[in-house]
């Protein structure tokens, strides 16, 4: 295209001046053109364009000066050159060429006006017209082709832009939504929260965060596989979305955790109702790959602006409240209040101190006697953990044992308890209580690593005790997590000769039937049923029913938390076999317990003696 333009200019020039000098000018011009092509061949685009345009304009100038001045056909080549300069070069080349052309025209006009040159206007002929038309056609087509290319370029650029825009939107969607459920993710959740908070400020509503955590998602994932877990989450998302209003948002927080953002009218019961219906929705039956699956959820709420306005802080608070709901037995909800925060802060501090306490052997075992109600004999002592503090106080096991369980320290701690308790039992046996036995509490976590039997055997061996000297207390919750692995371990432990007692009976599922599977020999009725025994007919009949059922299954019953004579007599009349409680003694440290045991045995021996007289 450029070559055609140049040829046309050359032709125009040659027609404009048909003299010898014209030939020389055109020859010089063509040499310059060759130089321009040389540059172009070596990809020196700017040098080539500059040489081409400067030489052409000089050639046109020379032709005009030697020909018809400003009326020379050569002048027609100027606009074409300016167009090429604009297209091929930068702003610099374009402006310099334009100025150069203007100066040349002014100069030619000045030369003519001063009479220095005499324009020689040729008479018009058909070849002139043809050459003028050739110039126009070539220039016109060149510009047309250029503009068409530019238009094409613009169109493809527009398409590219659209594609980029589409993928930008997609990337933004992916970055803001969860892949599996297509719900807004935590990041986008924060933006939605801030938006909702701003509109709540104008409407006078408060903004609630409801933190939902599924209670038993992991076992489903483990048992049915991840695909089933994913399916469950999708179905649950559908179910939860259905009950939400337009201003309420459901967010996938991660794993099996969801968050609901909901504006709440002041002084209304909306929050309770919403929490309640979310929990109900989670507790539905889901059909996953032809299997009926049920889950439940624990839910915690926090409220803006009451509990703060920062999204992350509120999430943390709702999470703390959710944990409280879990502690309250799951499948329920709890609202955040400051006391929960304090408790979790204390827990965190305690957790930090737990590991060094274990390595520095700060823990102690206290022992509480367990008494045969008919004979009054103490055959067993229960070992109970204590954590003495520098100020002389003791942290009770209810506070730190769950932390040790959560942090994985319970195995180490539990091993220490079994060994220490066995050592103390052996010591008492050597001190004149040859049949005394020891009961230790076990946590479910101690069954997880499969080391329990080894721990028990080596503790007994080190202390030189027979397996019958050891009783293992398991809570009902451990039996609910009934797995074959636990059952096997318990079977081999009872085969060894250690006995098994079910602790805190009545606080969990209280299903006597599964006790058989665990080779238990004793049932410890929880303190909460024993303390009100004398005032509550209901508790009395409950305790009586437990005792009767246990005896029909061949299990002995132990009443926990006997504090007075009246309760003791009531339990004896109901047929309870064994008792434990402050009535005889609080849990005592080793020396105090040894002294207590000595006195107690002496007293009961003399009582028995006097009653036999």
Residues that bind Mg ion (CB under 5 A): 441, 473, 503-504, 560
Least distance to Mg ion, CB of residue 524, Å:
5
Residue of the chain from 25, 260, 417, 593 that contacts ligand C2E (CB under 6 A): 417
Q: Are strands 257-264 and 206-214 parallel, antiparallel or unpaired?
A: antiparallel
Q: Cβ contacts of residue 563 below 8 Å, gap of 6+?
A: 531, 581, 582, 583
Residue 563 interacting entry, from ligand C2E, Mg ion, none, C-beta within 5 to 8 Å by type: ligand C2E
Convert residues 445-484 into a mask of x (bound to ligand C2E by CB under 6 A) and - (unbound).
Answer: ----------------------------x-----------
The answer to the question of residue 354 lying near ligand C2E (CB under 6 A) is: no
The answer to the question of residue 587 lying near ligand C2E (CB under 6 A) is: yes
Return d(Cα 533, Cα 537) in angstroms, integer: 7
Structure tokens at 18: 């048909």
Residue 515 interacting entry, from Mg ion, ligand C2E, none, C-beta within 5 to 8 Å by type: none
Least distance to ligand C2E, CB of residue 369, Å:
10
Contacts with ligand C2E by CB under 6 A: the residue count is 24
Instruction: Indicate the helix (H) or strand (E) that contains 549.
Output: helix 537-552
Closest CB to ligand C2E among 156 and 528?
528
CB 227 within 8 A of CB 234: no
Q: Cβ contacts of residue 157 below 8 Å, gap of 6+?
A: none
Q: Cβ contacts of residue 25 below 8 Å, gap of 6+?
A: 13, 17, 59, 62, 63, 66
Provide the 3-class DSSP secondary structure of residue 468: helix
Residue 397 interacting entry, from Mg ion, ligand C2E, none, C-beta within 5 to 8 Å by type: ligand C2E
The answer to the question of residue 565 lying near ligand C2E (CB under 6 A) is: no
Closest CB to ligand C2E among 270 and 590?
590
- Residue 128 C-alpha from the chain's centroid: 82
The answer to the question of residue 369 lying near ligand C2E (CB under 6 A) is: no
Least distance to Mg ion, CB of residue 387, Å:
17
Which residue matches tokens 């070596």?
Answer: 42
What number of other Cβ atoms are within 10 A of residue 288's Cβ?
A: 19
Closest CB to ligand C2E among 165 and 449?
449
**In sequence order, what DSSP letters do the residues of 552-604 get, joined into one string?**
HTT-EEEEE---SHHHHHHHHHHT--EEESTTT---B-HHHHHHHHHHHHHHH
Return d(Cα 225, Cα 215) in angstroms, integer: 17
The answer to the question of residue 398 lying near ligand C2E (CB under 6 A) is: yes
Residue 561 interacting entry, from ligand C2E, Mg ion, none, C-beta within 5 to 8 Å by type: ligand C2E
- Residue 354 C-alpha from the chain's centroid: 27
Closest CB to ligand C2E among 295 and 425?
425
Give, rounded to a whole angstrom, the gap between the first and last alpha carbons of the chain. 136
Closest CB to Mg ion among 189 and 581?
581
Q: Are strands 297-304 and 333-335 parallel, antiparallel or unpaired?
A: parallel
The answer to the question of residue 523 lying near ligand C2E (CB under 6 A) is: no
Residue 369 interacting entry, from ligand C2E, Mg ion, none, C-beta within 5 to 8 Å by type: none
DSSP character at residue 177: B
Residue 401 interacting entry, from Mg ion, ligand C2E, none, C-beta within 5 to 8 Å by type: ligand C2E
Residues that bind ligand C2E (CB under 6 A): 368, 384-385, 396-398, 401, 414, 417, 441-443, 473, 503-504, 527, 560-563, 580-582, 587
């Amino acid at each position: 295209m450029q070559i055609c333009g140049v040829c046309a200019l050359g032709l125009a020039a040659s027609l404009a001046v048909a003299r010898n000098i014209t030939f020389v000018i055109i020859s010089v011009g063509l040499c310059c053109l060759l130089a321009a092509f040389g540059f172009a061949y070596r990809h020196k685009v700017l040098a080539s364009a500059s040489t081409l345009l400067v030489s052409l304009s000089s050639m046109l100038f020379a032709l005009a000066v030697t020909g018809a001045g400003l009326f020379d056909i050569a002048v027609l080549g100027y606009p074409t050159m300016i167009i090429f300069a604009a297209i091929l070069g930068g702003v610099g080349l374009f402006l310099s060429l334009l100025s150069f052309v203007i100066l040349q025209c002014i100069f030619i006009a000045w030369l003519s006006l001063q009479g220095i040159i005499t324009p020689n206007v040729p008479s018009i002929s058909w070849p002139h017209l043809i050459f003028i038309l050739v110039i126009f056609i070539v220039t016109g087509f060149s510009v047309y082709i250029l503009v068409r290319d530019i238009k094409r370029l613009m169109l493809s650029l527009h398409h590219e832009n659209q594609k980029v825009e589409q993928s930008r939107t997609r990337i933004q969607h992916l970055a803001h939504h969860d892949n599996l459920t297509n719900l807004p993710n935590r990041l986008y959740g924060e933006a939605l929260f801030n938006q909702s908070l701003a509109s709540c400020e104008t409407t006078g509503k408060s903004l609630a965060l409801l933190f939902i955590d599924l209670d038993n998602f992991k076992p489903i994932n483990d048992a049915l596989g991840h695909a089933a877990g994913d399916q469950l989450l999708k179905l649950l998302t559908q179910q939860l979305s259905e009950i939400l209003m337009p201003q309420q948002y459901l967010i996938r927080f991660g794993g099996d955790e969801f968050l609901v953002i909901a504006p709440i009218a002041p002084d209304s019961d909306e929050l309770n109702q919403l929490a309640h219906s979310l929990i109900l929705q989670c507790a539905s039956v889901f059909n996953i790959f032809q299997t009926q699956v049920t889950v439940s959820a624990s839910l915690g709420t926090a409220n803006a602006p009451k509990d703060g306005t920062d999204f992350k802080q509120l999430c943390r608070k709702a999470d703390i409240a959710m944990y409280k709901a879990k502690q309250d037995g799951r499948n329920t909800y709890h609202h955040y209040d400051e006391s929960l925060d304090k408790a979790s802060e204390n827990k965190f501090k305690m957790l930090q101190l737990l590991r060094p306490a274990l390595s520095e052997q700060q823990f102690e075992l206290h022992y509480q006697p367990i008494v045969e109600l008919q004979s009054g004999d103490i055959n067993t002592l229960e070992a109970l953990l204590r954590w003495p503090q520098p100020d002389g106080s003791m942290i009770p096991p209810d506070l730190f044992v769950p932390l040790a369980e959560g942090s994985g320290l319970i195995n180490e701690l539990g091993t220490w308890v079994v060994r220490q308790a066995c050592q103390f039992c052996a010591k008492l046996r050597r001190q004149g209580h040859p049949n005394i036995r020891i009961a230790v509490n076990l946590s479910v976590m101690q069954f997880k690593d499969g080391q329990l039997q080894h721990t028990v055997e080596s503790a007994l061996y080190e202390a030189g005790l027979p397996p019958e000297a050891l009783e293992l207390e398991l809570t009902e919750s451990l039996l609910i997590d009934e797995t074959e692995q636990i059952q096997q371990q318990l079977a081999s432990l009872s085969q060894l000769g250690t006995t098994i007692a079910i602790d805190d009976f009545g606080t969990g599922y209280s299903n006597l039937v599964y006790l058989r599977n665990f080779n238990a020999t004793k049932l410890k009725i929880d303190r909460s049923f024993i303390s009100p025994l004398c005032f509550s007919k209901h508790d009395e009949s409950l305790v009586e029913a437990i005792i009767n059922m246990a005896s029909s299954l061949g299990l002995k019953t132990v009443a926990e938390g006997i504090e007075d004579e009246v309760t003791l007599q009531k339990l004896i009349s109901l047929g309870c076999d064994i008792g434990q409680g402050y009535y005889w003694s609080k849990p005592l440290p080793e020396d105090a317990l040894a002294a207590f045991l000595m006195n107690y045995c002496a007293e009961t021996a003399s009582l028995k003696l006097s009653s036999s007289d």
